[in-house]
Amino acid sequence: MKTNQWPDGVRCVVFVSVNFDAEAFDLKTTTEDRLYGRFSYGRYGVRAGLPRLLAMLDRRSISATTFVTANDANRHPDAIRALRDAGHEIAARGADLTHLPSLKEKERNALAEGRDTVARITGTAPQGFRAPGGELGHESLALLAELGFTYDSSFQDDDHPYLIAPKPGARIAELPTVQALDDSFVFSARHTHARVIKIWREEFDALYRENCLVPLTLHLRGDVGSTRAARIAALEELLAYMAGCPGVRFMTGAQIAAQTLAGGSPAEENPLERHKATLAVTPYRGDLAVKPI
């Protein structure tokens, strides 16, 4: 069984990431003049949810990684700087939440816009990227490496970080996620808070036993996110449980990527290479990297 070489004394790494996904998400289905009423869940996440999340992470002494689009970062630069000032990593999510395969020749500009917007607002170029919907284009990984990103977190194909060589001479770390540890899926299914914590604790316990990465994906949103008061309370209970297990360390995406890049493991080829014939007629789904649909 594949294992990962964590730092000395570390048995399991918890990667807390936050998908900012404010108005950029709502604008996929409505227009600027309708970002209120039933389209205001994204606004809730920034206005009420983010301060609550920041306070909880501060109480737990946890540094998270936030993935944000240029669209949302430009709308909420003070919120992004508040995350930065609290010691959290700011990573990119492209220009908006348009799926990358549909951008074609415009993809590079969208990725560069996401990178440059975060750099302008925070003063530091982002190291990490997460694709909207987990979907990458044929050249996405190569473009990310070319634009200076050190890691991607869009796939769901492993329990451990690993390296990809998207083109000769380039390496990029992949930090896989787990759908069961993504709050948007469980809360959109209307699970109770107790049920969500039960699911997450079971997932954590199993990954902890096998020394795996535990990628907990949160959203700010008021509908499918974790920042309502009751949800934050449940989340804090879970994080306290994780922190109490021997050998657990919370790390940002940049820290995990640096560890992975320095680990000396060989880089895998770009999954695109094995599926060119299939990808000629079907989209490249980054969340199903070795089995495109």
CATH number at residue 56: 3.20.20.370
Q: Is residue 288's pLDDT more than 90?
A: no
What is the pTM assigned to this prediction? 0.92
Q: Is residue 3 included in any domain, yes or no?
A: no
How many domains is the chain partitioned into structurally? Answer: 1
Q: Is residue 288 included in any domain, yes or no?
A: no
Q: Which two tokens stand for residue 71?
A: 């669209």
Domain extent at residue 266: 12-282
Q: Is residue 175 included in any domain, yes or no?
A: yes
* pLDDT score recorded for residue 289: 42
Q: How far is CA 121 from CA 49, 70, 118, 238, 289, in A?
A: 21, 10, 5, 32, 32
35-44, 112-121, 216-225, 269-278: least confidently modelled range: 269-278
Q: Is residue 148's pLDDT more than 70?
A: yes
Q: Is residue 291 included in any domain, yes or no?
A: no
Q: Is residue 206 included in any domain, yes or no?
A: yes
Q: Is residue 289 included in any domain, yes or no?
A: no
Q: Is residue 293 included in any domain, yes or no?
A: no
Strands (E), 52-176: 65-68, 89-92, 128-129, 151-152, 162-165, 172-174
* pLDDT score recorded for residue 271: 77
> How many residues are listed for the chain in this entry?
293
Once rounded to an integer, what is the mean pLDDT over residues 130-155? 94
Running DSSP on this structure, what letter comes out for residue 182? B
With b meaning 16 or more CB within 10 Å and e meaning fewer, what string describes 163-175?
bbbbbeeebbbbb
* pLDDT score recorded for residue 38: 77
